[in-house]
Chain A
Amino acid sequence: MVTTQDKLQVKIGNLELKNPVILASGTCGFGSEIKDFADTGKLGGIVTKTITLTKREGNPPPRVFETTGGLLNSIGLDNDGFKNFVFEKVSGLEKLRTTVIASIAGNTVGEFVKLVTGLSGIPVVGAIELNLSCPNVIHKGTRFNLLSQDEKAVKKIISKLRGITQKTLIAKLSPNVTDIKKIARAAETAGIDAISLINTYPGLAADIHTMKPRLGGVTGGLSGPAIKPLALKCVWDVYRSVGVPIIGAGGIMTWEDAVEFMICGAAVVQVGTANFVNPKAPFEITEGIKKYMKAKKIKSVKDIVGTLKA
């Protein structure tokens, strides 16, 4: 007999998720605050705030600003570093009773290696998401400002990490590239298990009275409903170019948005900005997907993925 649970189950790499709805990096901290609002055990999983090897203070305020249908942020990878993660955050993550995906970023291949080696020994970490939307220090001075714009750097990092960990590896890509398909294929060739897209779009907002930028960091990343059609196109493009599963994100507020991402090729969806507006959104999205499947007599969520008639 197929239970509802089985119907919602998805697999990425060797990681089983009880349902395809997970919380996006940087929008749920390390899960402890979300526990006040709902049973985290019902989530498909959570992706932690991006962890770097050493503590980062983050950008000067203001760090967030609302624009039409969107949220512009310049947080600046504010986090307490890897050691703090191990000693202060892991025990809290164990209490969430859901799959934990650790998001990491490094300046050098060496930093990525240290982080992945460390995380590989932590049982609660089910998978590792590589946040490649960080400055490209590896090939400094090239025209690729971000790691995820640099096909060669992406290949180099992932091949190296593939060789040192059994954990499921996910590459999170930036939409701020000429051809996202190329970057996705490079990640696949290097042995990635899944591709997560998209991170925020670069943006800017200014105050016309003071002539000052709205964000302390001047520019920031745009998320929320405003970027949804752009994200859907990235998902569809990459879906047709690679064989590994896609984790889709960008402006998902409702279950209808989530299903739309699945139709365009996402096997799993991440909910980000919506958590700020409604901490229960991911739970309501999962319930909505269940009802949709029942109404349409769909046996497994997998059957929705990539069904776009185009």
Chain B
Amino acid sequence: MKLFKARIISNNKIAPDHYVLSFKMPHAAGGVKPGQFFNIKVNDACAPLLRRPFGAHKINRNKIEILYKVVGKATEILAARKKGGKLDIIGPLGNGFTINPQTGKLANRQAIIVAGGHGVSPLIALAKKLSDYGARIAVFIGARTKNHVVCREDFKRLCAKLYVATEDGTAGYKGLITDLLTAKLKNILAHNTPTMYACGPKTMLKEIAGIAKRHRMHCQVSLEEYMACGIGTCLGCAVKTKTGYKLVCKDGPVFNAKDIVW
């Protein structure tokens, strides 16, 4: 059963607009894959009407954490929810990232992770899984300002190299993360061809898909589309691919970057 009521274990502010909420999974959360998401009803009222999708940020045996940014009504209400309260959740949903060294998807056990904005959220769970596989990971985090750079410490523990870019230059490289990635890639590619994983704004993902194509790298992107159902019945979350429209909630949210019509 993917529909359950979960108790909120904690809900803490980790940055000016960012929160981490953890909830109890009623059944073995071992079954949750990095890149999968949960569709959450933030309250019992009719407003907001729809559930809101959030990626799995940290996956423990019977506890799931989500990391969210307050951007509107639902996330505002979620931020005010207290420990001990119940949340109505559907999940885990979607396909998740593919991490399989055997099939060559994780070429040479080398990976590059690129996170933009709240896109860091599912990439922590991914980095954990990759490091369990013994992968060597380079992480690129892009944010607006220093205050928007989250999960730095978590990534540091899991990866070999960490690069940060902020638009205003208050932390790390001043400029876009894709520019920093391009600059560093030359050196990285001299030694091997890693698999790339990215999550963030669509404009960033489009850039990254282009970079991956130019360097013939396998690249998986986690996309976001406005969702109504999250389970594949409303056909609302369509994204254009080279083989027609696909559903972000059911066929994704993770897609091979080369399949998307950007």
Contact = CB atoms under 8 A, between A and B. Distances in A.
Contact of B49 (A34, A37, A71, A279): A71
B244 A26 contact: no
Contacts of A151: none
A57 B226 CA distance: 18
A36 B250 CA distance: 14
B30 interface: no
A253 B234 contact: no
Interface of A is mostly: loop
Given A60-B240, A253-B46, A276 B245 contact: no
A68 B233 CA distance: 22
Interface string B237-251: 111100011000000
Nearest to A214: B226
A225 B49 CA distance: 9
Contact of A66 (B2, B50, B229, B237): B50
A126 interface: no
A145 B96 CA distance: 43
A83 interface: no
A156 B88 CA distance: 48
A280 interface: yes
22 contacts: A29-B233, A33-B232, A36-B1, A36-B231, A37-B1, A58-B238, A60-B240, A61-B239, A63-B236, A65-B226, A66-B49, A69-B49, A73-B228, A75-B236, A78-B235, A225-B46, A225-B49, A275-B233, A276-B50, A276-B229, A277-B41, A278-B41
B183 interface: no
B238 A78 contact: yes
A41 B127 CA distance: 43
Interface of A: 26-29, 33-34, 36-37, 49, 57-58, 60-66, 68-71, 73, 75, 78, 224-225, 253, 273, 275-280
Contacts of A273: 49, 228
B77 interface: no
Nearest to A79: B235
A255 to B, nearest CB: 15
Contacts of A65: 226
A73 B245 contact: no
A197 to B, nearest CB: 21
B112 interface: no
Contacts of B232: 29, 33
B88 to A, nearest CB: 8
Contacts of B229: 27, 275-276
A267 to B, nearest CB: 25
A36 B232 CA distance: 12
Given A26-B235, A29-B233, A277-B41, 9 more contacts: A28-B233, A33-B232, A36-B231, A57-B244, A60-B240, A63-B236, A78-B238, A78-B245, A277-B51
A84 B176 CA distance: 46
Contact of B228 (A57, A71, A280): A71
B234 A279 contact: no
Contacts of B233: 27-29, 33-34, 275-276
